Amino acid sequence: MNSMETIRLGCGAGFSSDRLGPAIDLAQRGALDYLVFECIGERTMAFGHRDRMLDSTRGYNPQLRARMRGVLAHCHANGTKIVTNMGVANPRAAALLVIEIARELGLTGLKVACVEGDDVTHLIGPDTEFMDHPGAVKDVGLRMVGANVYLGVEALLPALQAGADVVIAGRIADPALFLSPLVHRFGWALDDWTALGRGTLAGHLMECGMQITGGYFADPGFKDVPRLADCGFPIAEVSADGSFVITKLDDTGGCVTPATVKEQLLYEVHDPAAYLTPDVTANFRGVSVTQVGPDRVRLTGADGSVRPEKLKVTIGFDGGFLGEGGVSYAGPNARARAELAANVVRERLTRINQLGGDLRIDLVGLNALHQTAETPVSDAADIRLHVALRSTDRDDIDTMLWEVESLLCCGPAGGGGYRGQVTPCVVTHSCLIARDQVSPTFEMFVA
Amino acid sequence: MTRKTIHDIAHARAGDKGNTSNISVWVYDPKDYPLLKRQLTAERIKQEFPKLFTGTVTRYEMDDLHGLNFVMLDALEGGVNTSLNLDSHGKSFSYLLLGLPIEA
């Protein structure tokens, strides 16, 4: 392609439950070359495996149908291709669902590629050792639900080269979802570490959606964000040399400024000079961040060096259940009553019911999120007792919820507003595997 | 003199990977960067929150962009899938750092 040309990438989701409206807006009016949906986290990956075990036709992102119904016709009309990891633990079923939706919408001939090979459950055994702490799979004592390797550009490129309109994969390293179209269109070599480092920066900044356009940023009076409720998803205009501008649609809410960009620059980054992906060791240390227009920030100066030798794998285990129950206390002496309620619950659960599992009791309004960091400095007049128990024994969870609810008549004065819920849990660990143990493939389906 | 906190001069964002937390802190005004760099050290963070940040704390400096990145090992009470903290990602830990006093 012409070296002066830019490629327009949009982000239609930065996590599994991200908003749909702004993605449809981008598909409709963004004049995009590619619309990328990044929808997997360590938690959602394991939930995908669990869903597929219960029903072999599931295991993909639960919002896939709604998202495709919303954007597919616009993308088709505007020549925008879609790249996504919404296949989660079942890319094949996801691709077939997209085909079904394309047919419903009359998009005959739409090409949907399903990318597989990230599921490496068969390579993990009891003696597989973890990468970040001592221990092996057999030490966890929980049932493994699945293991996925982080794949990179090499997994997506063949599908793009074969002309797919929609590429749907599972565990792809988040920045690679954005880097792959750049490599494909600009023809970057897979050992052009500088170009790959720059494209990875673009992907890293885009992959959390609104976290770069004003979402997750506002702090009233300090960092004000206009029309946060109407915040738009980001667009990256990438040049052939890998430099790029981050922006958004003009009439959407939010903002793109050096401050929003910098906060995202090191989000989930450890050493800024060595951000590891399957494709490159990216270096963000020399990056320049310049406002070049309203809601337009230009990024230059990222670099890269040779990619890591091994690939990272996330292993998911069935962690049983998380039970959470709560009761509120307000008005005079609320703190003392809530603290008494906490003591009563602790005594009932440990001394009388002799429950196992991990228990935590928080006083929301006094100190909950930061309970382990600091002692509370002031009394509050509106406090919620929050009791959390994680256990593989569902009966223990139900006993805990019953005990918390019983405070309504058996606990301190004036308690009210009991709520309780049970959520299934996963536990994850990471390990490394050799590249040659992995061989991604793709299959094309046509609507 | 009113007591200043880091929140008066800087903004921050926290992220998680496994049981590791990272918090990047950025001054609004480049003039405040030397002050931030002098007073918000890895050693200070470990001293202020010994029960929470039990592992190594490493500081990376982004001098050109006027920001610091702190990486805290064993900082998330087990990590997002293990912690019983309501905020199991430790997203709110950014405001723990911003709440620390700073002397101008």
State phi, psi for A114 to the nearest 5 degrees. Answer: -105, 125
Does B1 score more than 70 pLDDT? no
CATH code, domain with B71: 3.30.70
Contact A292, A246 (CB under 8 A): no
Q: The domain containing residue B16 runs over which residues?
A: 4-102
Q: Which residue of chain A comes nearest to B53, CA vs CA?
A: A373
Domain count, chain B: 1
Q: Which residue of chain A comes nearest to B17, CA vs CA?
A: A268
Q: Residue range A423-430: average pLDDT?
A: 89
Written as six digits, the tokens of B22 are: 């990272």
Q: What is the pLDDT of residues B25-67, one digit of tens each?
A: 999 999 999 999 999 999 999 999 998 898 999 999 999 999 9
- Report pLDDT for A380: 78
- How far is the C-alpha of A394 from the C-alpha of A387, rounded, in Å? 16
- Report pLDDT for A419: 97
Position A1 confidence tier, pLDDT thresholds 50, 70, 90: low
Of B7, B15, B81, the CB nearest to A428: B81
Q: Which residue has the tokens 């954005």?
A: A178
- Report pLDDT for A123: 97
Q: Residue range A242-256: average pLDDT?
A: 98
* Binding-site residues on chain B for chain A (CB distance < 8 A): 7, 11-13, 15-20, 22, 24, 26, 28, 49, 51-52, 58, 60, 62, 64-65, 67, 69, 71, 77, 79-82, 84-87, 92-93, 96
Check B67 against A427: CB less than 8 A apart. no
Q: pTM of the predicted model, to two decimals?
A: 0.94
CATH superfamily, with its number, for domain A316-427: ACT-like. Chain A, domain 2 (3.30.70.1150)
pLDDT averaged over every residue in chain A? 95
Q: What is the pLDDT of residues A350-361, one digit of tens each?
A: 999 888 778 999
Position A373 confidence tier, pLDDT thresholds 50, 70, 90: confident
Does A304 score more than 70 pLDDT? yes
Q: What is the pLDDT of residues A17-43, one digit of tens each?
A: 999 999 999 999 999 999 999 999 888
Position A375 confidence tier, pLDDT thresholds 50, 70, 90: confident
Position B2 confidence tier, pLDDT thresholds 50, 70, 90: low
Contact B91, B14 (CB under 8 A): yes
Q: What is the pLDDT of residues B56-85, one digit of tens each?
A: 999 999 999 999 999 999 888 777 777 898
Tell me the domain boundaries of chain A. 6-129+149-309+435-446, 316-427
The Cβ-side half-sphere exposure at A230, using a 13 Å CA radius, reads 8
- In chain A, residues 376-435 whose CB comes closer than 8 Å to chain B: 386, 388-390, 425-428, 430
- Report pLDDT for A242: 98
Does A99 score more than 70 pLDDT? yes
- How far is the C-alpha of B27 from the C-alpha of A109, rounded, in Å? 52
Does A3 score more than 60 pLDDT? no
Q: What is the pLDDT of residues A401-420, one digit of tens each?
A: 999 999 999 999 999 999 99
Q: What is the pLDDT of residues A139-178, one digit of tens each?
A: 999 999 999 999 999 999 999 999 999 999 999 999 999 9
- Report pLDDT for A371: 77
Hey, is A317 helix, strand or coil? strand
Secondary structure E strands in chain B: 4-5, 10-17, 20-27, 57-62, 67-72, 101-102
Task: Transcribe A45-69 into DSSP letters.
Answer: HHHHHHHHHH-TT--S-TTHHHHHH
- Report pLDDT for A33: 98
- Report pLDDT for A275: 98
Check A426 against B77: CB less than 8 A apart. no
Longest dimension (CA), chain A: 75
